[in-house]
Structure 1
Amino acid sequence: MSLRFYDTRAREVRTFTPLRAGCVSIYLCGATVQAPPHIGHIRSGVHFDILRRWLTFQGYRVTFCRNVTDIDDKIIANAEDEGIPWWEVSERNLRAFTAAYDTLGCLPPSVEPRATGHVPEMITLMRRLVDGGHAYVPEDGAGSVYFDVRSFPDYGALSNQRLDHMRAAGDTDAEQERAKRDPRDFALWKCARPGEPSWETPWGEGRPGWHLECSAMATKYLGSEFDIHAGGVDLVFPHHENEIAQSQAAGDPFARYWLHNGLLTVGGSKMSKSEGNSLLIPVILTKVRPVELRYYLGQAHYRSVLDYSDEALYEAAAAYQRLEGFLRRAQDLVGSVEPASRVPEDFAAALDDDLGVPAALAVVHGLVRDGNTALSAGDKERVAELAGQVRQTLAVLGLDPLAQPWVSGDDGGLRQIVNALVPLALEQRQAARARRDYATADEIRDRLSAAGVTVEDTPNGPRWVLSHG
């Protein structure tokens, strides 16, 4: 099967053909760093990290651009509330986002441009739009620049809306709104306000509008035309709609495929700080390990809505532990296990079909079931074969427990100590069971479990695996 994606703009699944043979360019709308990230923010990062890993495994050279919006109304408002500079809010939260991406095993982007570092590119784009009659500077706009949505006939194509049915853009204050020719026109540049950061332009001082920055940064690093533009479904309108309008009105073909991940909800409501239901990464990581949170966020299809609950999180963690446990037991039987060079055909077919991670994970769990059967039979050759396939499939998903970042050789010898002490405790447990002191045997098992060591009794004796840490 050829690689296919659901293209939001086409509203259908399309066969993927890269602009340049052997290369794929991806722009992901990244963080607006007004506050620390919750798991809804990072879901997008996990899904498109899997996309990147799958393309890389297939032999493509992937250029992955993930931007940072480091100036906007909310950043300024939060800084005012705290009585600190706007850039301090941005820097603090950018570090939190970077830590979250790293903690969940997302590969670092090829480039991570910031909006405030690309004002010259924005000015160039605005000049092209003004000169082409697609943008204007109102007489009483005091330096603002607006995009004329009626000048772009295809406006609304991405979100499948008609202009006459759209509400006002609502991206400026009341005074600025009055300066617009049409209330649906959106701000490319916002005029300076007292106490706010501003940059000089040919039309006066001000700061970037939200939409302008992404068009400027995407084309700077990926070219006037590139392969994939990705982001959350909540960005389809107005953000991505406006990106298309301003870029194509300026003469850039822009993105060829538009991929959008579904929302993460809580009790059916969108997760957001304003709703009071956001779940911050450090809070969730008190419940499960980072790799288990990655499994939870990535297990559903990227376009589906994922409704959070503790129960679903724990079920995902248990499912991952079953995969992890098989690989640990396989190592106990056959020694070191290397990833296979290929993945099963049905696994590849699942990911080729619009990044079908649920079907791909079903294949992985099937491999593990077969592997456990081989373990019970003591079939070392079959165990080694299946374990190699499990490692490679999990590597594509960023979940291989035997690879970085989930395993580290720099543990100060801690694993060697654990490997020595746990078998000693299990010997004591077996001795207690042999003398029918089941209370002591159960206490040893429970204390090991409390320490993060899961014990499984098998016909060949007890096996153990680290379930936390």
Structure 2
Amino acid sequence: MRGMRLLGMASDGRKQPPWTPPQARPDAQLPRLKIYNSLTRSKEDFVPVDPTGKMVTWYACGPTVYEDAHLGHAKNYVSTDIIRRIIKDYFGFRVKFVMNTTDIDDKIILQGRQQYLLARFKQEHAAEDGSVSDSVLAEAKAAFRHYIGKNLPSLPSDTSPETFSEAVDKAYKEKAEPPPLADAATAQQGQGVTVADLLLRAHIGTARSAAEALQAPGTLPDFFAKTDDVLLPHLDTLHGAEMDSNNHQIYLELTRKFERRFFEDMNALNVLAPDQLTRVTEYVPQIVRFVEKIVANGFGYATPDSSVYFDIDSFEKAGHSYSRLEPWNKNDRALQADGEGSLFKGRSMKRSENHFALWKASKPGEPAWPSPWGHGRPGWHIECSAMASEVIGKTIDIHSGGVDLRFPHHDNELAQSEAYWSTPGCQVQWTNYFIHMGQLRIRGLKMSKSLKNYTTIRTVLSQKEWTARSLRICFLLMPWQDGIEVTDELMKAVVGWEGKLNNFFLKSLDLWKHSRPKTTRQELGIADQQLLSALDKAKADVDTALCDSFNTSAVMRILSDLVTESNSAEALSDQTVILLARWVTRIVTIFGLDPEGDLSNPDRIGWSGLDIPEPAKPYIYPASQLRDKVLTLACSGSVDHVAIAKLADGITIAASTPVVESSQPYDQVLQQFRTNVKALAAQQAPAKDLLALCDQLRDVHLWNLGIYLEDRNNPQPALVRPLDKLLVEARAERESAGAARAKAKLEQEAREAEAEKELRERAKVDPLLMFRTSDEYLEWDENGIPTVDAAGNVVSKNRRKKLVKEWEKQKKRHEEWLATQQAA
């Protein structure tokens, strides 16, 4: 049976189920695809469970939706999307992609409850005049004391807002402020900023903000903005247990908001939506039944406090293997405790420390659902096992998530699911291929909300430093299973790769618009034949790379090298370049680099963003054409000013093109350029003035509108294109280099002027006196040249020769100075 295996024996005599590769039906047509499988920590042939080899089932661990997604999430879900697209659009599988959102867990309970209590507190203490009342101040002071007592224990117990800064400086010294940033390599070796350092600084920053507000309250909104983070845990401590456990809406309002914002972020990153979305709170009855069966199978037990735990010992005695993904972390108590959740610590009645919760009895103030064991809520790990089993079945082809989920989350999922589906003597292999995405790291540290070392996706995209495409390129350039350290070198590589493809697509599109009649392959020249051969090789190499566990970094190099070869070839036919551009377009579209990509259109070239804005076209193209003609006439030797004036008068805008608000800046540039051209023509201006005007249009007016005119060899017209980061950075580098040269020139001129001034001052000194003012000598001859040094030694012959030369130079300078004085 597919997805089933018989028990084997390990070398220690214990029953050990190895990973069993699925078997394809003989007539199934499968690619030579290998996937790096976390279960075996090696690359395995990919064989889906579907007997026909067409359908692939995939379950992805989705986000815990209580805050906005950050760049670490972008790394995970964009990398997942890239692999999904390759499987679907390159290898041709039909993919059923299921993702969950965790909409109830310890973090959500805390966040939802705290936000509810804070909102209630603010409403109860609202003031019409916006002032901070004594009762609010008193509560905030209590919250401040509670916060520093819990998170900054080295501070004196009587630390007040007024003494906070001084107390922090004494208690934490250099840890209170970040040291100079270590480089990535140092940080990754554990010698840079640590997690403990970041947590400490986050706590100090929160407390400092509250201390400042308590000393100078200001308006109520400003006060709360600075004290919210200390009020949240304080109010929860006071009133959290009072919350109605049946009022799930408190938490759902929070999770629905951030689930919506998460998928908005994913859409902005061009990440495909899941085929099916599961939410924990919508599957609680199924989760209860799932836990019941695990208990019935002998692998779970209830405790007197109405919790249910997974019995790892019974599981292993039955021949199963636990912690298959990260066996080295099997006994890591810190990871196990983190997997149980922050609200579940310190009150366990489980039989062994390594057992984990399937169902958690709810404490007062926590949401609860009915179950055979009492009111409670699902454990973290059980949710995915139950939901994936419900919507996919007993065996999943691919299960994915971040690398940090391998243990304990996915190892516990595996154990639970095999405990649920297996029968005596025959075990189910619940997931055949686990794939885990590497983390995005900052100075060697995982990006984390608790460490406050993260930047949200929407913040990054709004600041324009990164685009959805450049982020995806960044992730494509690195192996998906590896961590990424974002460095200046990596950012330069991203900008360079994207800029190279932009240039290639722009020029290919221009060729396509003006392409000549087709020729047959036999009629093509040597350069065409060589490039077509390179294209054939690139296709084979890309296939090899993608079959090698989706090696996109190799594909990115192949595409870059192919474009470089095309750019360096001479006398290529338009058709060869267009053929090459269409294939490159297909690959980048498969990678998700074009939100407007259409794989059903084989003739498409390039990606979105290569064209100037629509409102600009009726004005910028005429301006560019006028500039081309003015340049030609200005460079013709004898400038025909009459012809230039006629050209400016001949520029017209189609009557059907009204000047709307969005087109006004472009219309103004066109009209101003026409006016300036006509004025120079009327003045019979020299060619250099006309050329300067054309440069001004390109380098100032259009540049400021995000448009660039790329001049090409005559008779080709300038290529009208939008600015991209490569152009902007290249110009910035030129300007920086120019500024550096100008600065160096000014500094050199200043040095020379200072030296000249010094020489002039020195020329005033009479050579008879030049050595007599020095402490180095005791005696001199009649010309003032030293004969005995300060130690009483006679000056040597060699030393005297040098002194005489200096004296003679000074004598000449002094005589020249005297002459200038007499002339004056």
Q: Which residue of 2 aligns with 1:157?
A: 324
Q: Does 1:27 align with 2:87?
A: no
Which one of the candidate residues 276, 279, 282 is aligned to 2:455? 279
Specify whether residues 175 and 16 from structure 1 end up closer, same or farther in structure 2 by C-alpha distance, changes over 3 A only: closer
Per-residue CA deviations over 1:184-235 (Å, capped at 9, x if unaligned) read 2111111122222211111111111110000011111221101111111000
Specify whether residues 228 and 249 from structure 1 end up closer, same or farther in structure 2 by C-alpha distance, changes over 3 A only: same
Which one of the candidate residues 100, 105, 113 is aligned to 1:72? 105
Specify whether residues 311 and 429 from structure 1 end up closer, same or farther in structure 2 by C-alpha distance, changes over 3 A only: farther
Per-residue CA deviations over 1:75-101 (Å, capped at 9, x if unaligned) read 121123322622122111111110111
Q: Which residue of 2 aligns with 1:255?
A: 431
Structure 1 residue 3 displacement after superposition: 0.4
Per-residue CA deviations over 1:73-132 (Å, capped at 9, x if unaligned) read 111211233226221221111111101111111111111111111112111110111111
Matches within 5 A, 1:49-68: 49-57=81-89, 58-68=91-101
User: Any gaps of 5 or more consecutive residues in structure 1?
Assistant: none
Sequence identity (%): 33
Which one of the candidate residues 675, 681, 705 is aligned to 1:451? 705
Structure with greater helix percent: 2
Which one of the candidate residues 447, 454, 462 is aligned to 2:718? 462
Which amino acid is 2:68 matched to? P
Per-residue CA deviations over 1:403-451 (Å, capped at 9, x if unaligned) read 269749xx9xx84433333333434655367532455444333333333
Contact 2:399 2:435 in 1 (8 A): yes
Contact 2:624 2:720 in 1 (8 A): no
Structure 1 residue 320 displacement after superposition: 1.5
Report the count of equivalent residues.
460
Equivalent position SS for 2:68: coil
Which one of the candidate residues 142, 151, 169 is aligned to 2:336? 169
Q: Does 1:148 align with 2:311?
A: yes
Equivalent position SS for 2:400: strand
Which amino acid is 1:149 matched to? I
Equivalent position SS for 1:333: helix
Equivalent position SS for 2:386: helix
Matches within 5 A, 1:136-285: 136-139=301-304, 141=305, 143-153=306-316, 154-161=321-328, 163-164=330-331, 166=333, 169-170=336-337, 171=340, 173=343, 177-250=347-420, 251=422, 252-285=428-461
Q: Which residue of 2 aligns with 1:418?
A: 616
* Mapped partners of 2:387, 2:596: distance in 1: 37
Specify whether residues 277 and 314 from structure 1 end up closer, same or farther in structure 2 by C-alpha distance, changes over 3 A only: farther
Per-residue CA deviations over 1:345-375 (Å, capped at 9, x if unaligned) read 211211110110110111222232244346x
* Mapped partners of 1:336, 1:263: distance in 2: 46
Contact 2:335 2:407 in 1 (8 A): no
Which one of the candidate residues 436, 446, 456 is aligned to 2:688? 436
* Mapped partners of 1:185, 1:203: distance in 2: 18
- Once the two structures are overlaid, the 10-residue window that deviates more, 279-288 or 458-467, is 458-467
Q: Which residue of 1 aligns with 2:509?
A: 331
Q: Which residue of 1 aligns with 2:554?
A: 359
Contact 2:538 2:558 in 1 (8 A): no
Which one of the candidate residues 467, 481, 484 is aligned to 1:303? 481
Q: Which residue of 2 aligns with 1:372?
A: 567
* Mapped partners of 1:365, 1:455: distance in 2: 24
Matches within 5 A, 1:116-155: 116-139=281-304, 141=305, 143-153=306-316, 154-155=321-322
Per-residue CA deviations over 1:164-194 (Å, capped at 9, x if unaligned) read 5655732155676431111221111111222
* Mapped partners of 2:574, 2:329: distance in 1: 63
Contact 1:453 1:468 in 2 (8 A): no
Specify whether residues 91 and 165 from structure 1 end up closer, same or farther in structure 2 by C-alpha distance, changes over 3 A only: closer
Contact 1:296 1:317 in 2 (8 A): no
Per-residue CA deviations over 1:223-282 (Å, capped at 9, x if unaligned) read 110111111100001100100011111224310011111110011111111222211112
Q: Does 1:3 align with 2:17?
A: no
Specify whether residues 167 and 265 from structure 1 end up closer, same or farther in structure 2 by C-alpha distance, changes over 3 A only: closer
Contact 2:538 2:562 in 1 (8 A): no
- Once the two structures are overlaid, the 10-residue window that deviates more, 118-127 or 446-455, is 446-455
Equivalent position SS for 1:169: helix
Contact 2:440 2:484 in 1 (8 A): yes
Which one of the candidate residues 76, 90, 103 is aligned to 2:255? 90
Specify whether residues 45 and 359 from structure 1 end up closer, same or farther in structure 2 by C-alpha distance, changes over 3 A only: same
Specify whether residues 446 and 91 from structure 1 end up closer, same or farther in structure 2 by C-alpha distance, changes over 3 A only: farther
* Mapped partners of 1:119, 1:291: distance in 2: 38
Report the structure number with the largest CA radius of gyration. 2
Structure 1 residue 318 displacement after superposition: 4.0
Structure 1 residue 454 displacement after superposition: 3.8
Specify whether residues 168 and 292 from structure 1 end up closer, same or farther in structure 2 by C-alpha distance, changes over 3 A only: closer
Per-residue CA deviations over 1:309-359 (Å, capped at 9, x if unaligned) read 46634541442232133223211211399xx9x981211211110110110
Name the structure, 1 or 2, with higher relative contact order (CA <8 Å, separation 6+): 1
* Mapped partners of 1:275, 1:454: distance in 2: 42
Contact 1:5 1:13 in 2 (8 A): yes
Contact 2:545 2:552 in 1 (8 A): yes
Which amino acid is 1:326 matched to? F
Contact 2:499 2:724 in 1 (8 A): no
* Mapped partners of 1:196, 1:174: distance in 2: 11
Which amino acid is 1:306 matched to? I
* Mapped partners of 1:114, 1:81: distance in 2: 22
Q: Which residue of 2 aligns with 1:394?
A: 588
Contact 2:441 2:486 in 1 (8 A): yes
Equivalent position SS for 2:503: helix
Structure with greater strand percent: 1
Structure 1 residue 138 displacement after superposition: 0.6
Which amino acid is 1:397 matched to? F
* Mapped partners of 1:444, 1:54: distance in 2: 44
Which amino acid is 2:622 matched to? L
User: Any gaps of 5 or more consecutive residues in structure 2?
Assistant: 1-30, 120-249, 423-427, 516-534, 600-606, 636-686, 726-824
Equivalent position SS for 1:436: helix
Q: Which residue of 2 aligns with 1:385?
A: 579
Specify whether residues 281 and 336 from structure 1 end up closer, same or farther in structure 2 by C-alpha distance, changes over 3 A only: farther
